[in-house]
Amino acid sequence: MVMAHGPTLLPTFMPVATQAAIKGLTSQQMEDLGVTLILNNTYHLNLRPGIKILREAGGAHKFQGWRKNLLTDSGGFQLVSLSKFTKITEEGALFASPFTGEPTLLTPEESISIQHAIGADIIMQLDDVVSSLTTGPRVEEAMWRSVRWLDRCIAQHKREGRPEQNLFAIIQGGLDSGLREICLEEMVKRKDSVSGFAIGGLSGGEAKDTFWKMIALCAEKLPDDKPRYSMGIGFAEDLLVCVALGVDMADCVFPTRTARFGVALTRQGPLNLRLNKYSQDLDPIDKDCACPTCRSETSRAFIYHNIGTETATAHAVTQHNIVFQAKLMGDVRDAIMKDEYPAFLKSFFKGYYANGKYPHWIVDSLNSVGVDLLEGLQNTQVVDEDGQNWDYA
Ligand SMILES: [Zn+2]
């Protein structure tokens, strides 16, 4: 995927720099780690430092010293999740500023103008977001409004003439496959006016079984020649399944947030370095990892002893987790290029679920695209979300 700030290879995982900073790392460190696309939050940047400063800086890239690609969300998700006083009308989302309490209206046009000022390489439509656990007529209302707001975003994007910035549509429709299909049909009709499609409104606490079926439905109907971005996905197992179903991009705060709590990601599963058993463990997090933390052989015991008190520890684990995600997606990409992705999935999950307990939703979702994870394996057990035996009958 080639954009104004260089190429980004797909599939890719995008680390989240909410306030124009990956917590604990500088833009230069991110660039050195080989990351080429990160995410900033429009809602936060609009409040602080504000658009005036960003315009003066010549955009968010210059403001934060980031020379690679940048994606901004529309601000809609944060409005719903952070502001207690958000009211959605056809005109836009009315909310109280968390700093001044002042009523502020975010319209689709304004969201696009703000994202133009920020200057991100990928900008997102303002959508009407409902939690994935919401049911009833509100889900349909939000889906149709997201389609209407997409048209207003497209019109504003054209009016302000920023061809180097790429507008993405966001498929909504909750957990209702009928509504998802209508949304897909409507938004795909506008495919010539957008550069890519996101799958929104998932990863909000719904059952994994429903989650993967919604991703599969969307990926199946989205055009092949535009990138597909699954929002809010960051666990290794979710990423691998989503890619198998046809997703190209994902973002999540999980890898960087969990790092600050001392959890390092590995191909044998997450490692909680706050546990006592690591207090005298002098091994690096992962001896096969090429990140600066593991290469310098920083010990697990160092992290155990300093995680809550020394910020350097959070930086060390954050670097490791960012490299873990990037290397994972890089290996996925290589496997796809060599036409060996099914074999890669089998070998990855064998290591990841070394106890032989495979979550049924992973087995089922991969089966749906012709990958039999259990083929040739002995002593495996298919389990439900609580680790109990999954009964296919
Ligand atoms: Zn590492």
Known binding residue 252? Answer is: no
User: What is the 323 CA–ligand 1 centroid distance (Å)?
Assistant: 7
According to the annotation, is 218 in a ligand binding site? no
Residues, beta carbon < 5 Å, ion ligand 1: 289, 291, 293-294, 320
In the chain, the percentage of residues whose pLDDT exceeds 90 is: 81
Q: How far is the CA of 302 from the centre of ligand 1 (A)?
A: 14
Residues carrying CATH 3.20.20.105, the chain: 2-252
Centre of ligand 1 to C-alpha 221, Å, is 38
CATH architecture designation of domain 2-252: Alpha-Beta Barrel (3.20)
Query: What does the pLDDT read at residue 393?
Result: 60
| Position 379 pLDDT exceeds 90 | no
Question: How close is the Cα of 279 to the center of ligand 1, in Å?
Answer: 18
Q: Is 127 annotated as a binding residue?
A: yes
User: So which residues are the catalytic ones?
Assistant: 73, 251
Q: How far is the CA of 314 from the centre of ligand 1 (A)?
A: 13
Give pLDDT tens digits for 1-35.
999 999 999 999 999 988 777 888 999 999 999 99
pLDDT per residue as tens digits for the range 222-258: 999 999 999 999 999 999 999 999 999 999 999 999 9
Taking the centre of ligand 1 as the mean of its atom positions, its distance from the CA of residue 34, in whole angstroms, is 14
Output the CA 327–ligand 1 centroid distance in Å.
10
Is 291 assigned to a binding site? yes
% of residues, the chain, pLDDT over 70? 99
- 289 appears as a binding residue in the annotation: yes
Among residues 88, 199, 194, the alpha carbon closest in space to that of 151 is found at: 194
**172 annotated to a ligand binding site:** yes
252 C-alpha vs ligand 1 centroid, how far in Å?
A: 19
Whether the per-residue pLDDT at 39 is higher than 80: the answer is yes
Handedness of CA 104, 144, 41, 52 (dihedral sign): negative
Q: Give the pLDDT confidence of 49-62 residue by residue, as tens digits.
A: 889 999 999 999 99
Residue 85 annotated as lining a ligand binding site: no
User: Is there a binding annotation on residue 75?
Assistant: yes
Confidence at residue 83, expressed as pLDDT on a 0 to 100 scale = 63
Q: What is the pLDDT of residue 333?
A: 98
Higher pLDDT, 390 or 305: 305
Residue of 155 and 45 predicted with greater confidence = 155
Span 60-91, pLDDT tens digits: 999 999 999 999 998 877 776 766 678 899 99
